[in-house]
Amino acid sequence: MSWYRIASPGFVAGESGMGFLLRTASRHGVGPRQLTRHLGLRFTGEVWRGDVVLAAKSLGCEPHLLSDALPQMPHSGCWCVGGLELASPALLRSAWSQLCPHCLVGARYHRLVWEFSAVSVCAAHRCLLIDACPTCRLPLRWDRPAVDFCPAGHRIKPVSVYGQTTPDQRLIDFTAWISGQSPVSASRSTWIDRLPREDAMALVRIAGLLSQEKSAVSARDSRRVQSVRECSAWVLRGFQLLEQMDPESPSDLRRCANRLDGAALSRLAGRTRSAATRSLALRWLSWMRRGRRTRRSSARQQELGLSSHQEVA
């Protein structure tokens, strides 16, 4: 392998940056870790650090193509990938990869859209994505011999998804919309679809994770690596909560606000470029704070009631 100019297999439109690095590494018979170390790129938890422009030049590919396809933080506090500014790194499945084995048969490259945690199905093949090897169950980490091989060296064949039930149509529509295959979800036309795609993903995640019966989900939970099944479950829960509500209706706002995550909403309000999302997030936040104040004051009244009763006793 020549270290000053590395022949790359050529970037495909819609390819993930990590997938491209994996494909280049496997062409030269090295691991992606070895390649990225040589290129001076480092993956630190959620984003890539290092000179991506220089790395692209050594690979002989257009700098903006690689730069757009790798999760990065070009200015403080904002994760960017594929031209989308994401409110949270939890919207990316960067530590673990997921894929559609049917798509890989047609073209052996990793699609960028698979990196979003809100995407858990393939809209073209109407199947759930896989994130573990069907043969040995090992997670499909990026550090593996090739795009269509598992870390232990098993070839990932599409036969593994036969017999699977077709995922919920809403997941398929949402994926088609996020990947730009449909302008607005085909079977739905809700207020969610009118928001920018990155904001819709964030809202669905905030609503989906927090509408669970048990309790609010901790920050640790929302950052940890989730399986494809967990991701599709929170997306569906998010839809259920958001689709039933009218963002203009005070009673719906009150009902939803009790279950939303304030920190995530403030982050979204601070980062979005869309006025509609900002006003929605701020309205939710104000309803949440109002709800908390009411709950606090009624708790205090109860306390006072109890103490005066004790005094009398």
Q: Which is nearer to Zn ion, 27 or 154 (CB)?
A: 154
Number of residues that bind Zn ion (CB under 5 A): 12
| Least Cβ distance, residue 114 to Zn ion (angstroms) | 9
Does residue 38 bind Zn ion (CB under 5 A)? Answer: no
Question: Which residue is it, tokens 């982050």?
Answer: 267
Range in contact with Zn ion (rule: CB under 5 A) among 14-22, 45-53, 78-86, 119-127: 119-127
Q: Which of 110, 125, 205, 271 binds Zn ion (CB under 5 A)?
A: 125
| Least Cβ distance, residue 99 to Zn ion (angstroms) | 8
Q: Which is nearer to Zn ion, 53 or 136 (CB)?
A: 136
Does residue 254 bind Zn ion (CB under 5 A)? Answer: no
Does residue 108 bind Zn ion (CB under 5 A)? Answer: no
Enumerate the β-bridge partners of residue 229: none
Q: Which of residues 143-172 bind Zn ion (CB under 5 A)?
A: 150, 152, 154
Does residue 200 bind Zn ion (CB under 5 A)? Answer: no
Q: Which is nearer to Zn ion, 111 or 267 (CB)?
A: 111
State the Cα torsion 276-279-282-287 to the nearest 10°: -100
Q: Which is nearer to Zn ion, 105 or 299 (CB)?
A: 105
Q: How far apart are CA 154 and CA 133, in angstroms?
A: 8
Q: Which of residues 48-107 bind Zn ion (CB under 5 A)?
A: 100, 102-103
Enumerate the β-bridge partners of residue 139: 132
Q: Which of 7, 136, 219, 299 binds Zn ion (CB under 5 A)?
A: 136
| Least Cβ distance, residue 203 to Zn ion (angstroms) | 26
Q: Are 151 and 141 in contact (CB under 8 A)?
A: yes
Nearest residue to 231 via CA among 115, 79, 77: 115
Q: How far apart are CA 47 and CA 31, in angstroms?
A: 19
What residues make contact with Zn ion under the rule CB under 5 A? 100, 102-103, 122, 124-125, 133, 135-136, 150, 152, 154
